[in-house]
Amino acid sequence: MKVAIKIPIFNAASTILETLSSILNQTHQDFIIYVYDNASTDNSIKIIQSLDDNRILIVTSEKN
């Protein structure tokens, strides 16, 4: 059973790596993670992209 996980973020550079790592290390691996970025101005997106996992999809907003 595929699970969809949705995470809204705004300037989450200090916590997003720990959050996503926790999800990626779960025993159930049939999931997709949607990260909804609300126009972050920090390195949140770069941190997420550094994980290079095709189960993570980033949806960005240009305006907060």
Query: pLDDT-derived band of residue 1, with 50, 70 and 90 as boundaries?
Result: confident
The per-residue pLDDT for 43 is: 98
Residue 64 CA to residue 53 CA, distance in Å, equals 26
Query: Average pLDDT in the 42-48 region?
Result: 98
Percent of the chain with pLDDT over 70: 100
Query: Average pLDDT in the 4-33 region?
Result: 98
Percent of the chain with pLDDT over 90: 97
Burial state string for 23-58 with b = 16 or more CB within 10 A and e = fewer than 16: beeeeeeeeebebebeebeeebbebbeeeeeebbee
Provide the 8-state DSSP code for 50.
H
Query: Average pLDDT in the 34-39 region?
Result: 98
